[in-house]
Amino acid sequence: MSISGHIEALYRHESRRVLATLIRLLGDFDLAEEALQDAFAAAVSQWPRDGIPDNPRAWLISAGRFKAIDRLRRRARFDASLDELALRFEQAAEMPDLDLTVEDDRLRLIFTCCHPALSEQARVALTLREVCDLTTEEIASAFLIPTPTVAQRIVRAKAKIRDARIPYRVPEKGELAERLDSVLQVIYLVFNEGYFPSSGDVPTRADLSSEALRLGRLLLSLLPEPEVGGLLALMLLTEARRAARTDAAGDPVLLDDQDRSLWDRALIAEGENLVEQALRSRRFGPYSLQAAIAAVHAEAASPEQTDWAQIVGLYDVLLRAAPSPVIALNRAVAVAMRDGPQAGLALVDGLLDAGELRHYYLAQAARADLCRRLGRVAEARDAYRAALALCQQGPQRVFLEKRLAALANEKNVSAAVESPRS
Amino acid sequence: MKYLCLVYAEEESLHSLPDSPEDDECQAYADSLAETGKMLGGAPLEPVHTAVTVRVRDGKTSITDGPFAETKEQLTGFYLIDARDLNEAIRIAENIPPARVGSIEVRPVRELQVTPKST
């Protein structure tokens, strides 16, 4: 490999590690990013002449640190307080053993970018920028928001890290669970935006989902907690269905109608293995339970063979661990599959009456589907219309419109036509 | 009798109006008050976007970005603390007893940018 090719590969594989360590050494995101660029520029100019150093990562960190001191010195001509800072970096103790601390630095970077003192949007943007090395433009286009909005979120997040002194540290044991929640939430949000985009005309965005999977794998390697494995399992088991989730026209296909031969068996096996480990640890949480539900679906060779009793049981545990109306809705749909649409509809109507799901299109869509199966055509139509009024996502709208059109010529029929599935 | 004087202003315009206070002026006033023995403590705050709100319910701490106290909540007290970083500040805040029923807004204190006195 040519030296420039070598440096390019090094940038791809090592730049986030080098950045994470420089942020710790320099205590400032922007200074560390400039130092990172300076260090690679120095490599490009020096390595062809001097050869590739024995430990390129250590060389880059060291070069970045000295370049940052140079920058501070130059700026100190205008701001005397920086002179002191530059001196402090110069006098800092010998570089610690790099290989021992460098993985900790990546974990520090993740926890700092996902600190709960930052808004969820800021956490997502900062994590994708700093940990995943996505450009501001890439983040903006993935989330369909203007680039300056993303840039502003990142600038503000960095300012808050500095001004509120959000530490560059892995949380201590007592605070780890809560902080980890905040990290897992960011990763799952990125995954879901790739798998179920909240708006726009494409049904899935594989790029965001694959970033989330990479983040999940990285976090699990750095912090092998059961819930991290649970989240990775949930994402893998969901990702496994991607090819079957849309038809040739790009329209969404419901789980029951999917061609299960298209499911990715390697991802399913990896996911199932992780779920089992998480459940065995007895320290699992909501992500592991959702992954267990996805695993039950994955195990069924056909929709009819799905173990709905087990799924309802898992939802019961999940509702106790993480009470939420959306989970209650999913449970109601599972109950409908176990006990018949009448039983499911009673639960869905109870949730809609409680009010929290009134503006959630999937609740109206679930009601519509259960009414349709019960032959209550007029109510099904009303619910499909209510769902359409709430849904912003192109392909999902097409699906709902098709269902509504299919009901156009039907009249109310007896509820007895559909028997509960086993 | 001790009194707490709370400073309210529109953050966006606080430092840009013709009559806006200068940091030097604020420091001088605080110094003059301290000389009379009537100043017990005080500090300017970083802007509101640096805030974080801590609540404890059923023994579980929740942390949200921003100063999102419920509008029906009123300021009922304050702690001025010295913590190593935001994580330590949050740990101290979650043990403030009213965190269990109200909210504790944690705001970093700003350093006044005082012009060095020539000697």
Q: What is the pLDDT of residues A15-45, one digit of tens each?
A: 999 999 999 999 899 999 999 999 999 999 9
Cβ A160–B84 below 8 Å, yes or no?
Answer: no
pLDDT of residue A422: 40
- The larger pLDDT score, comparing residue A304 to residue A87, is at A304
Query: What's residue A418's pLDDT?
Result: 44
Q: How would DSSP label each residue in chain B? A: ----------HHHHTTSTTPPPHHHHHHHHHHHHHTT-------B--GGG-EEEEEETTEEEEEES----TT-----------SSHHHHHHHHHTSGGGGTS-EEE-PBPPP-PPPPP-
Residue of A nearest to B105 (CA): A117
- How remote is the C-alpha of A12 from its chain's centroid? 21
A26 exposure class (CB count in 10 Å sphere: 0-12, 13-18, 19+): buried
H helical segments located in A223-285: 226-239, 242-245, 265-281
- CA B60 – CA B76 distance, rounded (Å): 22
Distance from CA of A222 to the nearest CA of B (A): 21
Query: Looking at beta carbons, which residues of chain A come within 8 Å of B87?
Result: 166-167, 169, 171-172, 175
Contact list in B for residue A167 (CB cut-off 8 A) is 84-87
C-alpha separations of A85 from A36, A69, A109, B30 in Å: 18, 8, 22, 29
Question: How many helices (H) and strands (E) are present in chain A, helices listed first?
Answer: 20, 0
Of A119, A172, A175, the CB nearest to B65: A119
A234-289 pLDDT, tens per residue?
Answer: 999 999 999 998 888 878 888 889 999 999 999 999 999 999 999 999 888 999 99
Q: Which of A119, A164, A169 sits opposite B108 (nearest CB)?
A: A164
Which chain B residues are Cβ-neighbours of A178 within 8 angstroms?
Answer: 60-63
Average pLDDT over residues A172-187: 89
Give the pLDDT confidence score for residue A395 in this predicted structure. 79
Q: Provide ipTM, 2 decimals.
A: 0.79
Contacts of A171 in chain B (CB under 8 A): 87
Tens digit of each residue's pLDDT, chain B (119 residues)? 788 888 888 888 888 888 888 889 889 998 999 899 888 888 888 888 889 999 999 888 899 998 876 777 888 888 999 999 999 999 999 999 889 988 999 999 988 888 887 65
Q: What is the pLDDT of residue A292?
A: 97
**DSSP 3-state of A246:** strand
Closest to B86 (Cα-Cα) out of A168, A106, A377:
A168
Most A CBs within 10 A among B50, B90, B94, hence the mutation to make, goes to: B50
Q: What is the CA radius of gyration of chain A?
A: 26
pLDDT for the residue numbered A416: 43
Mean pLDDT, chain A, rounded, equals 88
CB pairs under 8 A between A and B: 52
**What does pTM read for this prediction?**
0.82
Which of B11, B46, B84, B86 should one mutate to test binding to chain A, selecting the residue with the greatest count of A CBs within 10 A? Answer: B86
pLDDT at position A1: 74
- A interface with B, Cβ–Cβ below 8 Å: 115-119, 122, 156, 159-160, 163-167, 169, 171-172, 174-175, 178, 182
A160 to chain B: which residues are within 8 Å by CB?
Answer: 49-50
Is A175 in Cβ contact with B52 (below 8 Å)? no
At residue A294 the predicted structure's pLDDT band, cuts being 50, 70 and 90, is very high
Interface test with A, best of B55, B61, B63 (most A CBs within 10 A): B63
How far off is chain A from B57, nearest CA to CA, in Å?
Answer: 13
Cβ contact A29:A158 at 8 Å: yes
Check pLDDT > 90 for residue A52.
yes
The pLDDT of residue A380? 94
Of the pLDDT bands very low, low, confident and very high (cuts 50, 70, 90), residue A2 is confident
**Would you call B65 and A171 a contact, using CB atoms and an 8 Å cutoff?**
no
Q: CB-side exposure of B52: number of CA atoms within 13 Å?
A: 29
Residues A267 and A236: their CA atoms lie apart, in Å, by 6
Beta B104-106 vs B52-57: how paired, if at all? antiparallel
B108/A165 touch (CB, cutoff 8 Å), yes or no: yes
